[in-house]
Every structure is written in structure tokens, then in C-alpha cells.
Amino acid sequence: MAIVLFDSTNRNIYNPFTLTRAIADLKVGMLSFKERWEIISKAHNFVHTDAYLQPLYETISTAEHIWINASIFATESLWEQIENLKLNECIEDEYGCIAIRLHIDANQFNEESINNWITKSTKISNVQRLHLPHEMIALNATIASTDFKLVTQKKQSQPIANTNQVPQQANIFIEEGAQVNYAFLNATSGPIYIAKNAVIQEGTFIRGPFYLGENSLVKMGAKIYGSYIGNNCVVGGEIKNIIMLGNSNKAHDGYLGDSIIGEWCNFGAGTSNSNVKNTASIVKIWNEGLHKMVDASQKCGVLMGDYTRTAINSSINTGSYIGVCCNVFGNGLLNKKIANFSWGSHDMYELEKAIHDIKNWKQMKHQTLSEKEESVIRFLFPFKIF
């Protein structure tokens, strides 16, 4: 028996991030949805997603599995209820199915057909779901504190060099090979986790909750509060409450706040974003799945899809949505809605050039664009939004 994390039929609400990955791979706190379920359940996890993305994931074996909606936040108490399900039994809340135990071929699974398989359904409440992508920004700090306990259980931190200042040292965990010297790590407002072979250069100020992924670099003099930085990233300047997925760079001065950044993104030197309107009113942001602007909160920066880059000194507007595979530049404040494969703010990136440029960026981090990743990019072009 394994777990299958399935994408809901309304997966497009999480665009631009779910254009290039399953919901299970979205990151909040210090873990992805998949990583959190794997730790709590101690079971193998498969992923069931849209057909064009499925080749990125392991083939799902035909056997009796527990199918769980991928947008559900895993907790130990919820898992205790789920693992006791019998075949064709389901638990649900007011939004629909949370989990069901099934023995079917994965190609036959369809969320809309779940009711046809259910022999018994139990209604529960107080289950935490991710409803909209910008909610990840608001939830990041709270989830990080819970995740810290999961990722540090039965593990011991490496010693913290005495050149650092470390208020609340018990809330700081440093993996083997990480280098942290002459930095200020303040964990009084949340935990700090530094992963394997990451480097924090001297003169850096970090306030938790904070996660720095494997092989990532925080440059000298950076000021970071409450953020998740994925693997193989380079960050500097001022950063506040962001989620940055792997292999992305915001290496220079400039402000980035209350934002979610995809993989293989790059911010030109001096790029900054606005996260608060001058009127201090509620920020509205485009939601592709709902095809309309939705209310976020008083603080919301930018949602930026994978493989997107900004020119030097770019000015990103409050509540911006930028799609995948964009080369963004322009005078003054950029448009709040920038479509996939944009060149500048209005023109279209040529597909072959976009792929060539992505390969160049991957080469800079000693990686290559796989055939499966390239097929996803080709599938999406020219996916129109707005």
C-alpha cells in the first residue's frame, strides 16, 4: 500500500506554478506537500497529475492505495484517520474528498468519478487545504514552525561557529557541510534551518522562520526575514517572506517581499517589487484558474512562474502575476499581468530561443534540460492567458 497524491480538477487555480509541476510539489513552510506526507505517513508516495506532466513522475503501480487530495496539509492526527480507511471508504469535508482507499488502475482515476467508488463516506472538519496560490505567502511562517519539528526529529545539528550571533540557538539547525560564519541568526520569532552544503556569507542578517536549501548561497550583507529558499539558489539584498523554489537567483541589491518565485528564475541587479499599495488597501491579483482578479491581502508581491527572468532595475508592481518562460523588461512599473512566453511586456518569446536560453541557464548551474522537461515547455507554448 502506498499513497497517491492526486491533483484536483481545478488545479489551474495554482498557476503559474502548476503549469510545470503537480500540486504535490508546491512548497510551503520548509517542505512540499509530498515531502510532508512522506515524513508523516512513512509510506511511499506517488503523484497523479495532468497527462502532459505525468511523465515527470514515477509510474503508479496498480494496487490498493490511499488516494489523497494533494492540496491537503498533512498532520499526524489526520493521517491516523486516513490510514484506517477500508477499501472504497472515503473521508471528506465541505469541499469534497480528502482521501479514499482504492484498488484501480491510475489511468481510470478521475476526481469527478470518486462518488461512483465510495461505499462509505465520513464527514470531518478542521482540515487545512490550500485554496489559492497567494495563501502560501500568508501560511509560510506558521507552517515552517511545524515543519521544523518534522525535519529535525531524530537528527542532530552541526555545531554553530562562535563567530555567529545566535539568539534562541535551540531553534537553529545546521546540516553537515553548511558554512555559516560572522552572521546574525535570530530564531526568536521562528526556526532557522540551513541544509547540506549551503553557505551564508559574513555580515548576513537572518530572522526566522527561514529555510535555506542544499548548495544555496546567501551573499554578504543580505537581510532576510521569514522565507523559504530552495536548493541551488543564490540570494542577496533585502528579502521578506518569500517562497523561492530551486535553482533561482536574486543575487543583488533590491527588495523582494511577500512573493512566490518558481524554479530557474533570475532577477537582474536592482530589481525590486512592491508588496503594499500606497493606499494600504487590499491587493488584488490575477487567478488564472478562476479567470479573474481575486482579493489577496494588504501585502502581496509577485507570483512568478518557472524559467522567467527580469532585466536590471525592473520595477515589479504590487500583486503581479508573471507566467512561465518570460524575459521581462520595460520602463517604469511593469504590467501587473504578464503572459507566459512574454518577451518584454507585450511581445512573444520565440519557442526555440526560449528553450535555447533555458538550456544556457541550466548549464550555468551544471545541469541540463531533460527531454521530459522540454516536452512540458513545448506543450505549454503558446498557452494564452488573460
At 232, which CATH number? 2.160.10.10
Among the candidates 251, 285, 313, a domain finishes at 251
pLDDT at 345: 74
Q: Which of 8, 88, 89, 2 is nearest to 41 (CA)?
A: 2
Q: What is the pLDDT of residue 384?
A: 64
Domain-terminating residue out of 218, 251, 284: 251
Percent with pLDDT over 70 in the chain:
99
Range of the domain at 324: 273-386
Is residue 258 situated within a structural domain? no
With respect to residue 185, please indicate whether it lies within any of the assigned structural domains.
yes
Tell me the per-residue pLDDT of 138-194, one tens digit each, with 9 for 90 and over. Answer: 999 999 999 999 999 989 999 999 999 999 999 999 999 999 999 999 999 999 999
> Is the pLDDT reported for residue 117 higher than 80?
yes
Indicate which CATH number applies to the domain containing 89: 3.90.550
373: phi then psi, degrees, rounded to nearest 5: -65, -40
Kindly state whether residue 266 falls inside one of the protein's structural domains.
no
The reported pLDDT for the residue numbered 154 is: 87
| Cell numbers standing for residue 42 | 512513512
**pLDDT exceeds 90 at position 262:** yes
Q: What's this model's pTM, rounded to 2 decimal places?
A: 0.96
The CA–CA distances, whole Å, from 374 to 55, 180, 245, 275, 370 equal 11, 36, 19, 33, 6
Note whether 237 and 311 are same-domain residues: no
Q: How many domains does the chain have?
A: 3
pLDDT of 85 strictly over 70: yes
Same domain, 278 and 386: yes
225 and 315 inside one domain: no
Query: Coil, strand, or helix at residue 37?
Result: helix
pLDDT surpassing 90 at residue 202 = yes
Residues 223 and 317 in one domain: no
Note the pLDDT of residue 330. 92
The 10s digit of each residue's pLDDT in 298-334 is 999 999 999 999 999 999 999 999 999 999 999 999 9
Is 77 in the same domain as 183?
A: no
Residue 201 within a domain: yes
pLDDT tens figures, 331-371: 999 999 999 999 997 799 999 999 999 999 999 999 999 99
- Alpha helices (runs of H) in the chain, residue ranges in sequence order: 33-41, 76-82, 114-117, 135-152, 351-364, 371-380
> In angstroms, rounded to a whole number, what is the distance separating the alpha carbons of residues 38 and 58?
15
- Region 272-288 average pLDDT: 96
**Other residues' Cβ atoms within 10 Å of the Cβ of residue 215:** 19
Evaluate whether residue 179 is within a structural domain: yes
pLDDT digits (tens, 9 = 90+) for 236-249: 999 999 999 999 99
Look at residue 331 and tell me if it is in a domain: yes
Q: 245 with 326, same domain?
A: no
What per-residue confidence (pLDDT) applies to 338?
Answer: 95
Q: Is 349 part of a structural domain of the chain?
A: yes
Whether 256 is covered by a domain: the verdict is no
206 and 318 assigned to the same domain: no
Nearest to 122 by CA among 88, 148, 146, 151: 88
Residue ending a domain, among 58, 90, 123, is 123
Domain match, 8 and 101 both: yes
